[in-house]
Amino acid sequence: MSAQESVEEKHQAICFVSSTAPDAEAARLKLIDRYGDIPFEEADVIVALGGDGTMLQTLHRTMSAPKPVYGMNRGSLGFLMNDFSERGLRARLAVAQPSIIHPLLMRTRDVHDQEMTARAINEVSLWRQKYQAAKIEILVDDRVRVAELVADGVLVATPAGSTAYNLSASGPILPWGSRLMALTPICVFRPRRWRGALLPEGAKVAFEILEHDKRPVAAAADHIEIRDVMRVAVETDFATSLILLHDAGHPFDERTLREQFGV
């Protein structure tokens, strides 16, 4: 058996998932009719139809047992998605290039002394729950770097997530595959001129919530939200490797460059 045949054989068992959008669901049914459908847990590869939100949800479903996920854009945003086509899917999967994503691991402790963990592919974000600005102490590798951040919030973003909420908060776009995290404040009031930092992916970031009874703060790992936190710790989960497939000739680093130049 040739190497090409071996790769194609690996991707024979396909599971199709989609968002609830009519275009995405219609595409899923057409693809199932053409290629068949395997249950999620038994599939060799997952094909996600929708936008970037669908891709993130699908990757989260593979968190405990990572398997390749190939997205096709049937949504409004498609930074993480490939172009949609009903034809030639197995051939595209055979030559698709894998990118490995290590998610962020968030550990929280709330005002009731309850501890929770969650993982994020895009970002871990903290934000104020009430009208008053949050006050947050920021530590990097157990060293205080910002004694009192007064802001709507703060986030830690991966390269995969740097073009999402992080970019909206005027954070930097990180090249795909760079071994960095973006630490970005949200609507910062003090320190006046602080606009965030770039950190190595191995850094351990901690946030201590100041005046938490008066200025409550919520934290979220992508879509998983925890309210009334007192402490949030964030680090890269190198033990988890998520597999994102993309078409040859359309790598994410090129898309990231286009974002930086606004084209």
CA angle 169, 171, 177 (to 5 degrees): 130
**Which residues fall within 8 angstroms of residue 128, CB to CB, at 6 or more apart?**
134, 152, 153, 215, 216, 217
- Gap between the Cα atoms of 199 and 72, Å rounded: 32
Structure tokens at 96: 């698709």
Tokens at residue 251, please? 């790598």
- Given the residues 52, 83, 113, 253, select the one marked as catalytic: 52
User: What gap in Å lies between CA 241 and CA 101, rounded to an integer?
Assistant: 6
Gap between the Cα atoms of 10 and 176, Å rounded: 26
52 is catalytic: yes
* Angle at CA of residue 123, ends 121 and 124, nearest 5°: 120
Residue numbers annotated as active site: 52
